[in-house]
Each structure stands twice: as C-alpha cells, then as structure tokens.
Amino acid sequence: MEPEKIGFIGLGLIGGSIAKTIRRLHPGITLLAYDVDSDSLSLAMEEHTIDAAYGELTDDFAGCQYIFLCAPVQNNEDFLEKLSGFAGENCIITDVGSVKSAIHEEIANTPLAPYFIGGHPMAGSEKSGYAHAAPYLLENVYYIITPSAETSPGAVGRFQQFIKSLGAIPILLDYKEHDFVTAAVSHLPHILASSLVNLVEGLDSKEETMKKIAAGGFKDITRIASSSPVMWQQICLANREQVLRLVDAFSGELAKIRADIAASSEEHLFQFFQNAKDYRDSLPLASGGSLPKIYGLYCDMVDEAGGIATLATILATNQISIKNIGIIHNREFQDGALHIEFYEEKALHEALGLLRKYRYTVYER
C-alpha cells in the first residue's frame, strides 16, 4: 500500500534525490521537508518536488508514514529526540547515513526502537546539496536496510517494498555487519585513494612531473579522493573501530607483498596479481557505489585543425550533451587520444554508434 505522506529532515543531495525519485514514481504522495537552508527549500518548492517546506519541526510531520532523517550525522541526537514524539505503528523513522552503529546504539532501549529502520543508499556524488539532487540517483543501486531488533517484520517488509518501488535494490543487513562491509568496500578505498594522492604529491618534484604524466591507472584508483573532505572526516570518526580494523588488515597485506617483492618470489607475485584479477573481473558491472558512474569513451583523433570541433559538432547536432572532454597525453593502459564523458548511459551508447558511423575509432571503458 502506497504511503500517503512522507517527511524529510534535511533536503540535501541524498534527501533531495529520494524526494525527487518519489515525486517521479509516486506523484500522489504528499512530501514535507524541514531544512535550515531556506534556499534549498525554496528551490524544492519551485520545482514541485515537495508540497510543504518547514524551517522548524511541527506536528504536521506526525501524520507521515515515513520520515527520512537526512541531516548531518552529528545532528542526529537532537533530531531523534524530537522525532520520537511522531514515531509509532503508522510512522516509521529511517535514516540514510553511511555508518549505522552510532544511531542504532543511540535508539536502543528507547521508545523509538520499534519504529526505527536504518537505511543506506549506496549512491552519492562528489557534489553536495539539493541543487545537485537527481531523480535517478537511486536507479539500480543497492539500498542497505538495517532494522532495529524490535521493529516488526511487517514494517520492515513494507519498507523494503517501498524502497524497491523507487528503483533501488534493497539488502537486509545487521547494522554491525553493515559497518564492517562498508568499511571494507567504501571507507578503506577512500582512505587509500587519498593516501596515494598525498604520497605522490609529497614525492613529486618542483616541476610536478608526476602530476603531469599521471596515467589512467592513477586517475582511476584515485577518482574517489575528490569526495567531500568533511564527509569522510565524519565517516572515519563515526566508524572508527571498523576502519582501524580494515587499515590494520590492509597493512598486513601490504607487508606480505613487500616481502614477496623483496624476496623476488615469482610464484607469489604472480598469484597475488592473478587472484586480484580474478576477483576484480568477477565483480558485477551494475553494482552501485558512493560516487556516480562515469559514462565515457576514448577516441582516436588525427592531429589536425578543427578535429575536436568537428567531433563535438556531430554530437551536438544529434542532441548529445558532453559533460567533459579532454586530450589524453599519457595513454598507458588506455585506448584513444581523446576522452569524452557524458551525463547518462543512454547518451554514451548513442555517441558510440554515431561516431562509429562516421568512422571514428572509439573505445568504451
């Protein structure tokens, strides 16, 4: 059964994207939003994403079937106290934080516990705020659900079905397992990416030779280092125990490969890279992540005046918008001299077909 009214506490990137998705797929649901950012609320009202905007929490939220807590993690305690007065069998409180232990431990053994379902959509962007929210951000991404031990199975089942109706893929996990899993596949990679960037910066010459010739492999593995420093500072502190556990485990793996290199162990080195290749190749292509996918292609170009302009004109006359375009000066592990990125997958596939029709040599990656 479709909810009649849903509330949002915080209308930033994730809250705004969920609201836009609900408006797109369930236009009959009334959406309320509270936020301290009046500009975000005004824009959401102008775009008809929400039906009512609030600068303070009122009893209007008591009639919501779901209230999404999308405020910064450090503000959860204050909001949970206020929301506990609205929670009940007909009003479930859920959050969207990427760390679950703190909020679950906070609501444990409180009147709110039976009416709380933790949530974490595995989606995001290097940008923040409602202005960057997107109505398709949840499309085919994993949405992890961590219900309280006291939440009724019926309430959990209804919430799962609602999340599924938004185009996401719900996965039910214990909140402690969630924090360990996300520390391994999300939090640790961000730490490693930023560590590698900082290492290279520190080792680079005055002429910045490393920066200048950085190849595709370096850029691919460090792309997530462009994420919000404030967000990742908070995540490391909120999930400190699990992050430290994974950092220690990775340090052990690094020590092993160092020993194999030092010993010139051909067999161990080969197995190290083979195991990694096999597991990496087995990962599902369509899995979601904390940053949006890059829809890009590489294209061989003849070095002649107007070559890039001609290609751009072909795409533009066919209503294909380019997000980014750049010349590749280091083609190690890469095909093509020109890298072109698009806003969506459909545009990428249309561009591939069109450029091949005009006999460009293109590579999808």
pLDDT for 334 equals: 46
Nearest Cα neighbor of 10 from 57, 85, 55, 71 is 71
- Which residue ranges make up each domain of the chain? 5-173, 179-281, 295-364
Amino acid, res. 26: H
pLDDT of residue 241: 94
The CATH number, out of the four listed (3.30.70.260, 3.40.50.10860, 2.20.25.90, 3.20.20.60), of the domain defined by the range 295-364? 3.30.70.260
What is the distance of C-alpha 142 from the center of its chain? 10
pLDDT of residue 330: 45
What per-residue confidence (pLDDT) applies to 280? 84
Specify the fold of 5-173: Rossmann fold (3.40.50)
| pLDDT value at residue 128 | 74
Q: Return the CA Rg of the chain.
A: 23
Q: Which amino acid is at 288?
A: G
One pLDDT digit (tens) per residue for the chain, 365 residues: 789 999 999 999 899 999 999 999 999 999 999 999 999 999 999 999 999 999 999 999 999 999 999 987 777 777 888 888 899 999 999 999 889 998 999 999 889 999 999 999 988 765 678 988 888 888 888 899 999 999 999 999 999 999 999 999 999 999 999 999 999 988 999 999 999 999 999 999 999 999 888 866 787 788 888 877 887 888 899 899 999 999 999 999 999 999 999 999 999 999 999 999 898 888 765 555 545 567 888 887 766 677 888 888 999 999 998 888 877 654 444 445 688 888 888 899 999 999 999 888 887 76
Query: Residue 326's CB: how many other CB atoms inside 10 A?
Result: 10
Q: Do 295-364 and 5-173 fall under one CATH topology? A: no
- For residue 202 the two structure tokens come to 């520190």
Rounded-to-integer distance, Cα 84 and Cα 106, Å? 12
Q: How many helical (H) and strand (E) elements, i.e. helices and strands, does the chain have?
A: 14, 12
CATH T-level fold of 179-281: 6-phosphogluconate dehydrogenase C-terminal fold (1.10.3660)
